[in-house]
Chains A and B, each alone.
Chain A
Amino acid sequence: MIKTVDLTKIYRTDEVETTALNNVNVEIAKGEFVAIMGPSGCGKSTLLNLVGLLDNPSKGELHFNDTEVSKYTERMRTNMRKSNIGFIFQSFNLIDELTVYENVELPLLYIKMSSAERKKRVTEVLDRMKIAHRAKHFPQQLSGGQQQRVAVARAVVTKPKLILADEPTGNLDSANGEEVMDLLTQLNEEGTTIVMVTHSPSHAEYAHRIIQLFDGHIVTENIKKEFHL
């Protein structure tokens, strides 16, 4: 589903040039659950952002569903992203001014889904995430675990083929962390490809494969579970 060829990202300021990713070659198959690990600043999030089409690489190729997308314009990336990729962040990134329901509904507005369909889809996903009773609440009224469940609901509501999770359990206690990991596993089992950046070795254990990054390079790839298409 995803293939990178010598993917490189260099950040330049007036005086300093920092190579965040250096000739990274990785392939992620459809339906796979991949964890990316490594120390802070090794390029995990940069890789995730490139794969998630939030940023363009400085060099190299990025194939998404066999299409080379590294040279896509912002508009093309947006279009590709909104119907194919869901995001989950460590800090949830819910919009404070919108209720739980409205936060989850938001991605559906961008894909111009009809009102009735939206309502059905949001209700379903909130039920599934066991957060429907909080639909009218604002994010600040929820616990961290609940907020992350809303964030997951928002990520999956468009039924994306790929979910990118950037330290999704980083701000949660262990019980809530486990709960989110169970949700991701469940989604993966239903066929969604998941790429997750994490610092937690125990949560990385949920993945089929762990990619270790260091200084912008892949140092090891560790297959944890057998994965069949």
Chain B
Amino acid sequence: MFKNYFKIAFRNLIRQKGYSLINIIGLAIGIGCTILLTLWIVDELSFDNFHVNGDRIFRVLEHQEYTSSSMEVAVTPGPLAAAMKEKFPEIEYAVRFNQYSSQQLKNETETFPGFMGLHADPDFLKMFTFPVLQGNPEPLSEINSIVLTASAAEKIFGSENSIGKTLMLGSDTKVVSAVIEDVPPNSQLRFDYILPIDNLLKTDTSLGEWGNNSIYTYIQTYKGVDIADLNAKIKNFIKENNEGASSDLYLQSLLKVHLHSSGFVADFSGMGDFRYIIIFGCISLFILIISSVNFISLTTARYTKRAREVGMRKVLGSTRKHLIFQFLGESYLMVLLALIAALVLVELVLPLFNQFVSKQLSLSSYSNAASILLLLGMTLLLGFLAGIYPAFLLSSFKPVTVLKGSSLGSQKGGNFRKILVVLQWSLSIILIISTVILFNQLQYMQNKKLGFDKEQILYTRFYDDASYETIKEELLKHSGVESVTSVLSLPHSISSSTSGGEWSGKAEDETFLTHFDNVAKGFIETFHMEMAEGNTFLQEDLKSDEFGYILNETAIAKMGLTDPVGSKFSVWGMDGKIVGVVKDFHFKSLHNPIEPLMLLSIPGYLENIVVRVNNTNVSATKAYLEETVQKFAPDKKIEFKFFDDRFAAMYKAEQEMSTILKFFTGLAIFIACLGLFGLSAYLTEQRTREIGIRKVLGAEIPNIIITLSQDFTKWIIIANLIAIPVAWYIMQKLLQNFAYHIKIDPIVFLLTFIVSLLLAVLTIISQTIKAALANPVKALKYE
């Protein structure tokens, strides 16, 4: 019997090529999209799960409370780790580390730029699972040691054994003490080398103070420790050790760091966001529904073609169960073929998708038993969901009716089909609206007036106090250079903050948190910022023992100063006065509102040279900048980068999401159109006789086209009416994540409405025109 079912299914598949193709292509794209998005989701969810003791590793976070704000802070004081380990017996290891951006390493002959470094405590490699391949099993015990990843070691030393070899990091000589396995792509911690953290503490003693939050602290507990209990114990630990501190401590599971750290201050870069998991999960589900709907609506629309077979099978002794089994089997066959096609599609599209999402996803990395079971489970579920309604509908036919050739009524299953098409298009329209709004938001973020000019600015990560003024002079000699300055942090992402600000009139119990950046003279001018009042650092006129401060408008407003310029201000005991008030500018991404900011100009604490250039031959100017600064930095390879590129990287997550959304929305619409095309073909065919009669009675071609199109257009209009409020609600919620966002323009809805209607009409027009042009005599004969 099974053979018989298979034969029928296969022959139907071949005979109805067009229908089969529509079904298989639609389903394959749907399944393919789901696989791609699932790969992405699984990868995101797998972050940091390779650490053997991952369930016992926790990040120590601070909750800081101020008079008018509060924040979650990822960095902690330097002494915290050791103090916690000593105080709480539940802790097995406590380690500190700090991440550094791109550095260059040098062997005897060559310089290797672009290495990411990490300073860490010796227990770092005991806590985290980064297995040592070669060398000292405790490789961070010597201060001049360096641990390289396998790739870094190979890049620098080739296939030679690198243990014991020396290399230069800046002017320091380091000895390779161990080579560890490469950091897996799903690690939140990204690095090419590790140095003992003492190197860092030696150069910046303030890192050893309780009042300085600059270092990440992680702990590993012993087995069986009650984390709620430990959380309660550590809550006031900073306050106990640092009088006047207002931070509470709490633990975050390592496995939650990647996806559940949205909005944390001074956090790692490249964080994920659990909300995106939900959004992509929904998109994947939407697309799967849209493609399954094609299958259901096309199968039910074709029921008349199968009615006689069903009737005859019943007459010959088939029970309803047999028939349901048969039609479900056909559904499974279709899904199975679609799955094979989907896997081929995914393999083809994956390189492009990986580029979109900056990942290295591959099907083979998921070819384990669990993934295969998941895929099989999905096939079974999809085959069942797509096949069960058609199976019930087809098996319900009464043989008496169908064998007599009586009309089954063109409405059989029709209402359900209408609901499906409306559902399918509603989901597609939601995707269209979301994509357009998100795109608009991105455009808005990238074009919003930020309070400074990000164009025509080049920067390099180099600063040397001794030679800075000479460098500046040299650079300014070039006609392409407009101005030169130096900064600690570039002004698009100033994350350092302090609660140490003091001014006359400050309430005793007021805790005031302000962000700060250390900048050189010319900062305001180089970035084309505007002053609300007072002077820039170029114009400041201070006594020798006075520090000058520039605050932003938000800071002044929160401090409640009415005449700020010239009033006394101090931080960390550095007395001085406010020399100017800079107009508010966005020094963080537009996810965040503008907060109080203080600019200081302390010589030495600077890290980047920033140059504004004019637009005549920028590449020549860039080459001049690099050549000039290189002379002062023989140990380092100087490269100037465009600031606006860095700025764009801030919205990488949104860019990625927008790209994914555009890609998958396009596919969803394609699948929906494919379904509508197939459905219209069948429904128009079913109405052949009606069209013939209408023509005989005098209907003209336009009348016929309108008659045939109006059903479909009605469905699309209903789908719009459902989708628009839903999309509005979803996007309204999503936009709230941005402190600065667009207002949803009703024109988006109107345009989507028109576009969806046009798409639907274009999809069905060829069918309707064909039917309208057909000879009525043939149509009537055919019936």
Contact = CB atoms under 8 A, between A and B. Distances in A.
Contacts of B7: 97-98, 102
B8 A98 contact: yes
B713 to A, nearest CB: 30
A77 to B, nearest CB: 10
B4 A81 contact: no
Interface string A70-99: 000011001101110001010101111110
B282 interface: no
Contacts of A89: 403
A148 interface: no
Contacts of B400: 49, 54-55
A93 B320 contact: no
B234 interface: no
Interface stretch (A59-67, A104-112, A122-130, A200-208): A104-112
B319 interface: yes
B309 A74 contact: no
A10 to B, nearest CB: 14
Q: How many interface residues does chain A have, given as a range? A: 20 to 34
Interface in B218-250: none
A97 B315 contact: no
A107 B318 CA distance: 8
A19 to B, nearest CB: 16
Contact of A106 (B12, B15, B316): B316
Nearest to B317: A82
B472 to A, nearest CB: 84
Contact of B317 (A93, A95, A96, A110): A110
A102 B4 contact: yes
A87 B317 CA distance: 11
A89 B314 CA distance: 14
A81 B308 contact: no
B419 interface: no
Nearest to B320: A74
Contact of B315 (A45, A75, A81, A105): A81
Contacts of B404: 45
A107 B317 contact: yes
Contacts, number: 68
A110 B315 contact: no
Contacts of A95: 8, 308-309, 312-313
A19 B319 CA distance: 28
Contacts of B316: 82, 87, 106-107, 110, 154
A97 B8 contact: yes
Contacts of B312: 93-95, 106
A95 B311 CA distance: 10
Interface in B291-345: 308-309, 311-320, 322
Given A45-B404, A93-B403, A81 B317 contact: yes
Among A45, A75, A107, residue most surrounded by chain B Cβ atoms (within 10 Å): A107
Nearest to A107: B316
A49 B314 CA distance: 13
Contacts of B399: 54
A82 B322 CA distance: 14
B1 interface: yes
Given A93-B308, A106-B4, A55 B317 contact: no
B4 A78 contact: no
Tell me if B's interface is mostly helix, strand, loop or mixed.
Answer: helix
B398 interface: yes
A119 B309 CA distance: 22
A109 B3 CA distance: 10
Contacts of B15: 97
A105 B317 CA distance: 12
B263 interface: no
B403 A110 contact: no
Contact of A91 (B8, B317, B405): B405
A107 B317 CA distance: 7
Contacts of B320: 74
B311 A55 contact: no
B126 interface: no
B11 interface: yes
A95 B314 CA distance: 12
A52 B621 CA distance: 96
A111 B311 contact: no
Contacts of A81: 315, 317
Contacts of A94: 312
A80 B540 CA distance: 106
A36 B21 CA distance: 47
Nearest to B319: A78
Contacts of B11: 97-98
A107 B316 CA distance: 5
A112 to B, nearest CB: 8
A106 B316 CA distance: 8
Interface string A27-50: 000000000000000000100010
A171 B11 CA distance: 27
B745 to A, nearest CB: 49
A106 to B, nearest CB: 6
Nearest to A115: B3
B320 to A, nearest CB: 7
A89 B11 CA distance: 24
Contacts of A83: 317
Nearest to B318: A110
Nearest to A81: B317
Interface in B661-706: none
B7 to A, nearest CB: 7
Interface in B13-59: 15
Among B12, B309, B311, B403, residue most surrounded by chain A Cβ atoms (within 10 Å): B403
Contact of B1 (A78, A91, A109): A109
A106 B308 contact: no
A59 to B, nearest CB: 17
A78 B313 CA distance: 10
B152 to A, nearest CB: 63
Among B317, B320, B399, B400, residue most surrounded by chain A Cβ atoms (within 10 Å): B317
A149 B222 CA distance: 83
B44 to A, nearest CB: 46
A78 B317 contact: yes
A171 to B, nearest CB: 11
Given A95-B312, A97-B15, A107-B316, 10 more contacts: A54-B314, A54-B399, A78-B318, A82-B316, A87-B315, A91-B403, A93-B312, A95-B8, A110-B322, A111-B317
- List of 8 A-B pairs having minimum Cβ-Cβ separation, nearest first: A82-B317, A110-B317, A97-B11, A107-B316, A49-B400, A97-B8, A93-B312, A95-B309
19 contacts: A54-B314, A55-B400, A74-B319, A78-B317, A89-B403, A93-B312, A95-B308, A95-B312, A97-B8, A97-B11, A97-B309, A98-B4, A98-B8, A106-B316, A107-B316, A107-B317, A109-B4, A110-B1, A111-B317
Interface of A: 45, 49, 52, 54-55, 74-75, 78-79, 81-83, 87, 89, 91, 93-98, 102, 105-107, 109-111, 154
